[in-house]
Amino acid sequence: MDERAQREAPETSLDRAVRAAAAAGLVGPEHPVAGFLDADAVLEAVGDLHEAFDGVATLHTFAVKAAPLVPVLRLLGSAGMGWEAASPGELALALAAGAAADRVVLDSPAKTRAELAYALKLGAGVNADNLDELERIKELLADHETSSALGIRLNPQVGTGVIEAMSTAGASSKFGTPIGDPGDRERAVDAVLDFPQLSRVHVHVGSQGCSLELMATGVRAAYEFAEEVNNRAGHQQVRAIDIGGGLPVNFQDDQRRPAFREYADLLRTRVPGLFSGRYELVTEFGRSLVAKAGFIAAQVEYTKEAGGRRIALTHAGAQVATRTVLMPQAWPLRVSAYDAAGAPHQGEPVVQDVAGPCCFAGDLVARERVLPRLSAGDLVVLHDTGGYYYSSHWAYNSLARPAIYAFTTRTDANGAQDRHHGPGTQGGGGQVRFAVVRAEQSIQEILAESGACQRDALTGLLDGDRVKDQGTHNVL
């Protein structure tokens, strides 16, 4: 962004949040890094999603892995969302947030028997990843009933997006039941026909980096599969199509695009039968609901010049922005500069690196970026971190998970908003109010998670006498 434009721009709601957070000490000398989430912006995205699919019965679930924070999951539930979980932990988080089981979809690719039995007992939706898992579910239901909506995840093998690691529908993807190779489709159709309780077909083509066309092609394949099953069954066995998530997010500027509406409209033209009313829909969006609502703020601790390069040493590095640091081409983030009071930085723009606190040379969240000349005590803001950044903390260097705060700029309790756009757009004059969503990890917690309670386990193991003395509590 042009620095002068930045300086002359009117104060945004993000600017106000940074200023209020600095004034309250949420980020600064005592707490050198913290994450933030604009609750109003999250709700706005949820509203857009519901509007985009207006007119067709849809269970919109939120992919828990994008923001595994119970208060956020609860807020989303209060706004009419269900939950997509992909592990026992994520399922527990959804339930802790107050999830009704029938509004949960369990999708993990490697569910154990115990996990499946638990989900079926709860009545949570379950999408089998493959035909072996379908067999397992059948076995479990031989002597138990369930109210779970059961589905099967297909791999339509439509191809990959620009980030290989984020694409789930390539020819050799590990996800789902392939239906593109010879014989596979017939086998899958037969297996579904052989399991009359199976009523959902699921597809999730991939996350960031997949085009809307590619996603729509995958959804079309799932729809056609459902139609084939229903034609062969002679009645409508498959009643719901779960189109997954994966709407990409724009990390370049403040616009929320593509819009949910754009994708839904594309689906209306590419797969009109989806909107015929014969099928219920399930969606599983994650990143697109929360990414642009989040930012990470961190203090600059020192600055230096090395080899002609100016470097700001901050507290935001690979521990909080793991993908950005390790895969900078795939996950670049915008960085903005603020002064210690949280006001937009007025310094002269210079080329500099923004480095993190981790002990490896590549720990840079931005390289050779033109930013106002940073100095110790200033703040840097990493934009668009509301999706996955708070779930991908890296425990490297035993750096603490930072606190996450949600905020609102709503002025009245009835929810009237004094701002109508994304987190970076111009705000009105209301107060910023914060709530702790996750507390900062304490040194005590780091110790406990690092085996401090097992302190003597190894010395004891290698010293037979001590093991006898201490009993067996240190060995398994």
Ligand X SMILES: *Cc1c(COP(=O)(O)O)cnc(C)c1O
Out of 284, 363, 378, 384, the residue judged to bind ligand X by CB under 6 A: 284
- Residues across the chain: 476
285 binds ligand X (CB under 6 A): yes
Q: Is 42 within 8 Å of 75 (Cβ atoms)?
A: yes
Choice between 218 and 317, CB closer to ligand X: 218
Q: How far is CA 7 from the centre of its chain?
A: 32
Q: Which residues ranging from 13 to 72 are in contact with ligand X (CB under 6 A)?
A: 63, 65-66
Out of 207, 230, 322, 336, the residue judged to bind ligand X by CB under 6 A: 207
Q: Which residues ranging from 232 to 251 are in contact with ligand X (CB under 6 A)?
A: 244-247
Out of 200, 287, 315, 401, the residue judged to bind ligand X by CB under 6 A: 287
Out of 111, 185, 204, 345, the residue judged to bind ligand X by CB under 6 A: 204
Binding mask 102-141 for ligand X (x = CB under 6 A): -----x----------------------------------
Choice between 245 and 344, CB closer to ligand X: 245
In angstroms, rounded to a whole number, what is the distance separating the alpha carbons of residues 287 and 84? 13
Could you tell me if residue 377 is left (phi over 0), alpha (psi between -120 and 50 degrees) or otherwise beta? left
Q: Smallest distance, Å, CB 131 to ligand X?
A: 18
Structure tokens at 438: 């996750």
Q: Which helix (H) or strand (E) covers residue 19, if one does?
A: helix 13-23
Structure tokens at 223: 């729809």
Q: Smallest distance, Å, CB 202 to ligand X?
A: 8
Q: Smallest distance, Å, CB 297 to ligand X?
A: 23
In angstroms, rounded to a whole number, what is the distance separating the alpha carbons of residues 176 and 170? 11
Choice between 247 and 297, CB closer to ligand X: 247
DSSP secondary-structure letter at 392? -
Which region, judged by CB under 6 A, interacts with ligand X, from 20-28, 133-141, 282-290, 352-360?
A: 282-290
In angstroms, rounded to a whole number, what is the distance separating the alpha carbons of residues 326 and 421? 32
256 binds ligand X (CB under 6 A): no
Structure tokens at 193: 């026909």
In angstroms, rounded to a whole number, what is the distance separating the alpha carbons of residues 285 and 247? 7
Burial 1-37 (b: 16+ CB within 10 A, else e): eebeebeeeeebbbbbbbbbbbeeebbbeebbbbbbb
Choice between 314 and 385, CB closer to ligand X: 385
Question: Considering CB under 6 A, how many residues would be counted as binding ligand X?
Answer: 17
Out of 177, 288, 336, 385, the residue judged to bind ligand X by CB under 6 A: 288
Q: Smallest distance, Å, CB 98 to ligand X?
A: 21
- What residues line the site for ligand X (CB under 6 A)? 63, 65-66, 84, 86, 107, 204, 207, 244-247, 284-288
